[in-house]
Amino acid sequence: MLSAASASSSIEDNLFPQKYTLQIKGRLIEWEKPQIMGIINTTPDSFFDQSRISLNKEAILQQAEKMIQDGASILDIGGYSSRPGAKDVSEDEELERVLPAVNWINNAFPEVLISVDTFRSKVAKVAVNEGAHIVNDISGGELDSDLIPTVAELGVPYILMHLRGNPQTMQAKTEYFDFLPEILNYFAEKLDVIVKFGIKDVIIDPGFGFSKNLDQNYFLLKNLEILKSLGLPILAGLSRKSMIYKLLECEPSEALIGTTALNMVALQKGANILRVHDVKETNETLKLYNQLYA
Protein backbone atom coordinates (compact mmCIF):
# COMPACT_ATOMS: atom_id res chain seq x y z
CA MET A 1 0.00 0.00 0.00
CA LEU A 2 1.32 3.45 -0.94
CA SER A 3 2.01 5.94 1.81
CA ALA A 4 0.67 9.48 1.41
CA ALA A 5 4.17 10.70 0.53
CA SER A 6 4.84 8.00 -2.05
CA ALA A 7 1.37 8.41 -3.53
CA SER A 8 1.98 12.13 -3.90
CA SER A 9 5.32 11.45 -5.55
CA SER A 10 3.70 8.99 -7.94
CA ILE A 11 1.05 11.52 -8.91
CA GLU A 12 3.66 14.22 -9.42
CA ASP A 13 5.77 11.96 -11.62
CA ASN A 14 2.74 11.46 -13.85
CA LEU A 15 1.50 15.04 -13.89
CA PHE A 16 4.60 17.19 -14.06
CA PRO A 17 6.01 17.72 -17.55
CA GLN A 18 9.72 16.90 -17.64
CA LYS A 19 12.21 19.74 -17.73
CA TYR A 20 13.79 20.04 -21.14
CA THR A 21 16.18 22.20 -23.09
CA LEU A 22 16.32 23.30 -26.72
CA GLN A 23 19.33 24.52 -28.69
CA ILE A 24 18.11 27.36 -30.88
CA LYS A 25 20.55 29.31 -33.03
CA GLY A 26 23.22 29.33 -30.38
CA ARG A 27 20.79 29.94 -27.52
CA LEU A 28 20.15 27.33 -24.85
CA ILE A 29 16.47 27.52 -23.91
CA GLU A 30 15.54 25.71 -20.70
CA TRP A 31 11.92 25.22 -19.73
CA GLU A 32 10.79 23.75 -16.43
CA LYS A 33 7.10 24.55 -16.89
CA PRO A 34 4.65 24.27 -19.81
CA GLN A 35 4.85 26.94 -22.50
CA ILE A 36 2.26 28.64 -24.70
CA MET A 37 2.52 28.78 -28.48
CA GLY A 38 0.30 31.44 -30.04
CA ILE A 39 -1.15 30.79 -33.50
CA ILE A 40 -0.72 33.47 -36.15
CA ASN A 41 -2.49 32.50 -39.38
CA THR A 42 -1.72 34.42 -42.56
CA THR A 43 -4.20 32.25 -44.48
CA PRO A 44 -7.60 33.42 -45.73
CA ASP A 45 -9.26 30.06 -45.01
CA SER A 46 -8.27 28.95 -41.52
CA PHE A 47 -11.11 26.98 -39.88
CA PHE A 48 -11.40 29.59 -37.09
CA ASP A 49 -12.18 32.76 -38.99
CA GLN A 50 -11.34 35.07 -36.09
CA SER A 51 -7.73 33.85 -36.20
CA ARG A 52 -7.20 34.99 -39.79
CA ILE A 53 -4.99 38.05 -40.10
CA SER A 54 -4.54 40.07 -43.26
CA LEU A 55 -0.95 40.33 -44.46
CA ASN A 56 -0.60 43.79 -43.04
CA LYS A 57 2.41 44.76 -40.94
CA GLU A 58 0.44 46.71 -38.36
CA ALA A 59 -2.14 43.94 -37.89
CA ILE A 60 0.50 41.21 -37.63
CA LEU A 61 2.60 43.12 -35.11
CA GLN A 62 -0.44 44.10 -33.07
CA GLN A 63 -1.48 40.45 -32.80
CA ALA A 64 2.06 39.33 -31.99
CA GLU A 65 2.46 41.98 -29.29
CA LYS A 66 -0.83 41.03 -27.66
CA MET A 67 0.08 37.33 -27.61
CA ILE A 68 3.50 38.04 -26.12
CA GLN A 69 2.02 40.31 -23.44
CA ASP A 70 -0.60 37.66 -22.67
CA GLY A 71 2.05 35.01 -22.08
CA ALA A 72 3.14 33.35 -25.33
CA SER A 73 6.82 32.41 -25.52
CA ILE A 74 6.47 30.97 -29.06
CA LEU A 75 4.55 32.31 -32.06
CA ASP A 76 3.61 29.79 -34.76
CA ILE A 77 3.26 31.39 -38.19
CA GLY A 78 1.47 29.49 -40.92
CA GLY A 79 0.57 30.33 -44.50
CA TYR A 80 -0.97 27.00 -45.53
CA SER A 81 -4.29 25.99 -44.02
CA SER A 82 -4.25 22.38 -42.81
CA ARG A 83 -7.93 22.19 -41.92
CA PRO A 84 -9.70 19.11 -43.34
CA GLY A 85 -10.31 19.56 -47.06
CA ALA A 86 -8.37 22.80 -47.30
CA LYS A 87 -7.30 23.84 -50.79
CA ASP A 88 -3.69 23.37 -51.80
CA VAL A 89 -1.64 26.54 -52.28
CA SER A 90 1.57 26.95 -54.23
CA GLU A 91 4.95 27.17 -52.58
CA ASP A 92 5.38 30.73 -53.83
CA GLU A 93 2.05 31.80 -52.34
CA GLU A 94 2.93 30.20 -49.01
CA LEU A 95 6.24 32.05 -48.99
CA GLU A 96 4.50 35.34 -49.78
CA ARG A 97 2.20 34.81 -46.78
CA VAL A 98 4.80 33.62 -44.27
CA LEU A 99 8.04 35.48 -44.86
CA PRO A 100 6.89 39.07 -44.25
CA ALA A 101 5.27 38.02 -40.96
CA VAL A 102 8.42 36.18 -39.83
CA ASN A 103 10.59 39.14 -40.71
CA TRP A 104 8.34 41.75 -39.09
CA ILE A 105 7.94 39.80 -35.84
CA ASN A 106 11.61 38.86 -35.60
CA ASN A 107 12.67 42.50 -35.99
CA ALA A 108 10.06 43.90 -33.60
CA PHE A 109 10.19 41.20 -30.91
CA PRO A 110 13.60 39.49 -31.01
CA GLU A 111 13.02 37.85 -27.63
CA VAL A 112 10.11 35.68 -28.81
CA LEU A 113 10.66 32.34 -30.50
CA ILE A 114 9.14 31.97 -33.97
CA SER A 115 7.92 28.67 -35.32
CA VAL A 116 7.17 28.30 -39.02
CA ASP A 117 4.24 25.96 -39.68
CA THR A 118 5.16 24.29 -42.98
CA PHE A 119 5.84 20.91 -44.56
CA ARG A 120 7.89 22.39 -47.41
CA SER A 121 11.68 22.42 -47.26
CA LYS A 122 12.10 25.65 -49.22
CA VAL A 123 9.63 27.53 -47.02
CA ALA A 124 11.36 26.19 -43.91
CA LYS A 125 14.82 27.16 -45.13
CA VAL A 126 13.91 30.68 -46.21
CA ALA A 127 11.83 31.29 -43.06
CA VAL A 128 14.65 30.18 -40.76
CA ASN A 129 17.08 32.39 -42.67
CA GLU A 130 14.62 35.26 -42.17
CA GLY A 131 14.47 34.71 -38.42
CA ALA A 132 12.31 31.67 -37.56
CA HIS A 133 13.69 29.40 -34.83
CA ILE A 134 11.62 26.20 -35.10
CA VAL A 135 10.11 24.17 -37.94
CA ASN A 136 6.62 22.85 -37.24
CA ASP A 137 5.82 20.08 -39.75
CA ILE A 138 2.38 18.44 -39.85
CA SER A 139 3.58 15.68 -42.18
CA GLY A 140 6.58 14.05 -40.53
CA GLY A 141 8.54 14.70 -43.70
CA GLU A 142 6.11 12.68 -45.83
CA LEU A 143 5.00 15.57 -48.07
CA ASP A 144 8.50 16.78 -48.93
CA SER A 145 11.40 14.32 -48.77
CA ASP A 146 13.87 17.21 -48.47
CA LEU A 147 12.32 18.68 -45.34
CA ILE A 148 14.03 16.56 -42.67
CA PRO A 149 17.49 16.88 -44.27
CA THR A 150 16.88 20.63 -44.56
CA VAL A 151 15.95 20.95 -40.87
CA ALA A 152 19.07 18.99 -39.96
CA GLU A 153 21.17 21.34 -42.07
CA LEU A 154 19.54 24.38 -40.47
CA GLY A 155 20.20 23.02 -36.98
CA VAL A 156 16.86 24.11 -35.50
CA PRO A 157 14.30 22.21 -33.40
CA TYR A 158 11.72 20.18 -35.27
CA ILE A 159 8.07 19.56 -34.33
CA LEU A 160 7.07 16.09 -35.50
CA MET A 161 3.32 15.56 -35.85
CA HIS A 162 1.32 12.40 -36.48
CA LEU A 163 -0.59 12.50 -39.77
CA ARG A 164 -1.80 10.09 -42.40
CA GLY A 165 -2.20 11.38 -45.94
CA ASN A 166 -2.46 15.15 -46.37
CA PRO A 167 -4.97 17.87 -45.44
CA GLN A 168 -7.09 16.97 -48.45
CA THR A 169 -7.28 13.20 -47.66
CA MET A 170 -6.58 12.79 -43.94
CA GLN A 171 -10.18 12.48 -42.77
CA ALA A 172 -10.59 9.38 -44.95
CA LYS A 173 -7.66 7.73 -43.16
CA THR A 174 -9.02 7.07 -39.68
CA GLU A 175 -9.06 3.25 -39.77
CA TYR A 176 -6.50 1.71 -37.39
CA PHE A 177 -5.87 -1.89 -36.43
CA ASP A 178 -4.50 -0.91 -33.00
CA PHE A 179 -4.74 2.85 -32.52
CA LEU A 180 -2.24 3.82 -29.78
CA PRO A 181 0.48 1.29 -30.68
CA GLU A 182 0.30 2.44 -34.31
CA ILE A 183 0.80 6.05 -33.28
CA LEU A 184 3.73 5.13 -31.04
CA ASN A 185 5.22 3.05 -33.85
CA TYR A 186 4.84 5.99 -36.24
CA PHE A 187 6.85 8.21 -33.91
CA ALA A 188 9.47 5.54 -33.25
CA GLU A 189 10.06 5.01 -36.98
CA LYS A 190 10.17 8.74 -37.71
CA LEU A 191 12.53 9.42 -34.82
CA ASP A 192 14.90 6.76 -36.08
CA VAL A 193 15.15 8.62 -39.39
CA ILE A 194 15.36 12.05 -37.77
CA VAL A 195 18.18 11.03 -35.44
CA LYS A 196 20.15 9.55 -38.33
CA PHE A 197 19.99 12.89 -40.11
CA GLY A 198 21.34 14.60 -37.00
CA ILE A 199 18.37 16.61 -35.75
CA LYS A 200 19.02 17.03 -32.03
CA ASP A 201 15.87 18.71 -30.71
CA VAL A 202 12.49 17.17 -31.45
CA ILE A 203 9.03 17.99 -30.07
CA ILE A 204 6.20 15.46 -30.44
CA ASP A 205 2.72 16.54 -31.59
CA PRO A 206 0.08 13.75 -31.51
CA GLY A 207 -1.94 15.57 -34.17
CA PHE A 208 -5.36 16.07 -32.64
CA GLY A 209 -7.88 16.37 -35.47
CA PHE A 210 -5.54 14.93 -38.07
CA SER A 211 -6.42 11.46 -39.46
CA LYS A 212 -8.52 10.79 -36.36
CA ASN A 213 -12.24 10.71 -35.71
CA LEU A 214 -13.89 12.30 -32.70
CA ASP A 215 -13.69 9.23 -30.44
CA GLN A 216 -10.07 8.61 -31.38
CA ASN A 217 -9.14 12.19 -30.51
CA TYR A 218 -10.59 11.85 -27.02
CA PHE A 219 -9.06 8.41 -26.51
CA LEU A 220 -5.69 9.86 -27.48
CA LEU A 221 -6.07 12.79 -25.08
CA LYS A 222 -7.15 10.44 -22.29
CA ASN A 223 -3.96 8.43 -22.85
CA LEU A 224 -1.63 11.29 -23.82
CA GLU A 225 0.87 10.36 -21.12
CA ILE A 226 1.82 7.28 -23.15
CA LEU A 227 3.83 9.58 -25.40
CA LYS A 228 6.06 10.47 -22.45
CA SER A 229 7.70 7.08 -23.02
CA LEU A 230 9.43 8.68 -26.03
CA GLY A 231 11.33 10.98 -23.66
CA LEU A 232 10.56 14.13 -25.66
CA PRO A 233 8.48 17.26 -25.01
CA ILE A 234 4.86 17.00 -26.11
CA LEU A 235 2.90 19.70 -27.92
CA ALA A 236 -0.91 19.62 -27.68
CA GLY A 237 -2.88 21.51 -30.32
CA LEU A 238 -6.52 21.35 -29.26
CA SER A 239 -7.55 24.95 -29.72
CA ARG A 240 -11.15 25.33 -30.97
CA LYS A 241 -10.89 22.14 -33.05
CA SER A 242 -13.82 20.11 -34.38
CA MET A 243 -13.42 17.51 -31.62
CA ILE A 244 -14.66 20.29 -29.33
CA TYR A 245 -17.19 22.25 -31.35
CA LYS A 246 -18.81 19.21 -32.97
CA LEU A 247 -19.26 17.46 -29.64
CA LEU A 248 -20.65 20.64 -28.07
CA GLU A 249 -22.76 21.39 -31.17
CA CYS A 250 -21.43 24.91 -31.53
CA GLU A 251 -19.23 26.97 -33.81
CA PRO A 252 -15.43 27.33 -33.45
CA SER A 253 -16.06 30.87 -32.20
CA GLU A 254 -18.02 29.39 -29.27
CA ALA A 255 -15.46 26.68 -28.37
CA LEU A 256 -13.23 28.63 -25.97
CA ILE A 257 -14.59 27.07 -22.76
CA GLY A 258 -14.27 23.58 -24.22
CA THR A 259 -10.73 24.38 -25.33
CA THR A 260 -9.83 25.62 -21.86
CA ALA A 261 -11.16 22.44 -20.25
CA LEU A 262 -9.21 20.17 -22.60
CA ASN A 263 -6.04 22.24 -22.24
CA MET A 264 -6.11 21.57 -18.51
CA VAL A 265 -6.50 17.85 -19.21
CA ALA A 266 -3.57 17.98 -21.63
CA LEU A 267 -1.41 19.64 -18.99
CA GLN A 268 -2.35 17.00 -16.45
CA LYS A 269 -1.46 14.31 -18.98
CA GLY A 270 2.02 15.72 -19.54
CA ALA A 271 1.80 18.32 -22.33
CA ASN A 272 4.80 20.67 -22.39
CA ILE A 273 3.50 23.14 -24.99
CA LEU A 274 -0.07 24.28 -25.68
CA ARG A 275 -0.66 25.59 -29.21
CA VAL A 276 -3.60 28.00 -29.01
CA HIS A 277 -5.53 30.87 -30.53
CA ASP A 278 -6.43 32.36 -27.14
CA VAL A 279 -3.23 33.08 -25.25
CA LYS A 280 -4.65 35.11 -22.35
CA GLU A 281 -7.16 32.43 -21.37
CA THR A 282 -4.57 29.70 -21.79
CA ASN A 283 -2.15 31.57 -19.55
CA GLU A 284 -4.85 31.76 -16.88
CA THR A 285 -5.32 27.99 -17.19
CA LEU A 286 -1.58 27.53 -16.87
CA LYS A 287 -1.45 29.67 -13.72
CA LEU A 288 -4.16 27.52 -12.14
CA TYR A 289 -2.33 24.36 -13.18
CA ASN A 290 0.95 25.62 -11.72
CA GLN A 291 -0.77 26.55 -8.46
CA LEU A 292 -2.20 23.05 -8.20
CA TYR A 293 0.84 21.05 -9.19
CA ALA A 294 4.02 23.16 -9.15
Helices and strands of the chain, counted as H and E runs: 10, 10
Burial class of 196 by CB neighbour count within 10 A (0 to 12, 13 to 18, 19+): exposed
Residues annotated as catalytic are 241, 275
Is the separation of the CB atoms in 146 and 125 below 8 Å? no
**Cα angle at 151 between 21 and 199, to 5 degrees?**
45
What are the domain boundaries of the chain? 32-293
Is the separation of the CB atoms in 114 and 39 below 8 Å? no
What pLDDT score does 54 carry?
62
Stretches where the chain sits below pLDDT 50 are 1-12, 16, 45-52
What pLDDT score does 166 carry?
78
Is the separation of the CB atoms in 266 and 236 below 8 Å? yes
What pLDDT score does 12 carry?
46
- Residue 16: DSSP 8-state: S
Q: Cα Rg for the chain, rounded, in angstroms?
A: 18
**Model pTM?**
0.90
CATH superfamily membership of 32-293: Dihydropteroate synthase-like (3.20.20.20)
- DSSP-assigned beta bridge partners for residue 37: 74, 275
Q: State phi, psi for 18 to the nearest 5 degrees.
A: -70, 145
